[in-house]
Structure 1
Amino acid sequence: MEESDTIITLIGTKLAKTGNEFIFKGAAKDCEVCKLNKTCLGLNVGSKYRIIAIRNGGKLECFIHDSGVFAVEVVETPIVMGIESRKAIKGSKIVYEPVECNLINCENYKICRPAGLRRGDKFTVVNVVGELSGPCERGFLLKVAEVKRNDKHRSE
């Protein structure tokens, strides 16, 4: 992991533990008036992060977290998704196109349609994990891969 992959953000004191993971859902309405919101909101909406360190500096007040927030260092973790077999090559660049499937009870649905991603998001394949856990009911030929986001469309 490169040092440039580390992001400093703020997180509620009750959640601020090294190793904890979270998915950034975006700003709450109360965040608009906060003078620290640029620090909190410099993350990609829908991406998963792991806390790698708690920064010194003490607790800060927050409109959302009743016990305040701590500054933490986070890294974005790879996203696991189903991609076309022909594109499942370590190091390849892909553009996310959601699988045209509405079988929400399928055991592979969350891999084929990861939450928080938008059509056109750009990724690099970090690792090809293998096959889907069961046959695709729609007949898609997909591999399971870990991908890392290329473009940074951070929240505003």
Structure 2
Amino acid sequence: MGKRVVTLVTRVQARKDTVFSIRVLPRCRRCELFKICMGKLREGMRYRVLEVRNTKHVCPLINDYMYVALVEEMPVVLALEKGKAINGVTMQYSKNYCNEVRCAYYSYCVNNPILDGEKIKIGKLLKSIPCPRGLRLVLVEAEVLH
């Protein structure tokens, strides 16, 4: 089960089981609602709405209602070396550094939202993937441990 957070969601997102991710704009950081709205969320992570509450606030940037909601962080799909990809294992994450930007799996190695050194727990092993550099890689679902 991922980290649960109370946050604000848009009118469109304010439905149970809606999955969303955020993009923080510079003007959002100056907003008085930033701390409750996006302050506890991370760009690139996906979140699932568990519960929408009746309380709402007007977002001064989009000029529409934002609803208070309980959300849960979703697992991240990323590429790991086959020897490290063991279901249920907790480990310190190390990003794969790669210049093969045309590789279909590049984003799973380099552009995922998990930071170097963060602790993760490996969930499902999804599939083996080809690597142009010859590494033996596996796509996995992983949960960030907070």
TM-score by length of 2: 0.85
CA RMSD, Structure 1 to Structure 2 (Å):
2.0
* Match among 100, 117, 141 for residue 97 of structure 2: 100
Q: Secondary structure at the match of 2:83?
A: helix
Worse overlay, 104-113 or 140-149: 104-113
Cα offsets for 1:116-156 (capped at 9, x unmatched): 33222221101212211xx21111111111100013xxxxx
Alignment of 1:26-105 (within 5 A): 26=24, 28-34=26-32, 36-40=33-37, 41-57=39-55, 59-105=56-102
- Tell me, in whole angstroms, the C-alpha distance in 1 between the residues paired with 2:45 and 2:23: 8
* Match among 4, 7, 13 for residue 6 of structure 1: 4
- Deviation of 1:23 after TM superposition, in Å, equals 2.0
TM-score by length of 1: 0.80
- Deviation of 1:42 after TM superposition, in Å, equals 1.2
Q: In the comparison of the two structures, how many residue pairs are matched?
A: 145
Amino acid at match of 1:65: I
- Deviation of 1:87 after TM superposition, in Å, equals 1.0
- Deviation of 1:22 after TM superposition, in Å, equals 1.9
Amino acid at match of 1:81: L
| Structure 1 gap ranges (5+) | 152-156
- Deviation of 1:49 after TM superposition, in Å, equals 0.7
User: Which portions of structure 1, spanning 4 or more consecutive aligned residues, are displaced by more than 4 angstroms?
Assistant: none
Task: Establish whether residue 146 from structure 1 lines up as the match of residue 141 from structure 2.
Answer: yes
- Tell me, in whole angstroms, the C-alpha distance in 2 between the residues paired with 1:30 and 1:84: 37
| Structure 2 gap ranges (5+) | none
If each structure's strand is expressed as a fraction of its own residues, which one has the higher value? 2
State the percentage of identical aligned residues.
27
- Deviation of 1:28 after TM superposition, in Å, equals 3.7
- Deviation of 1:26 after TM superposition, in Å, equals 3.7
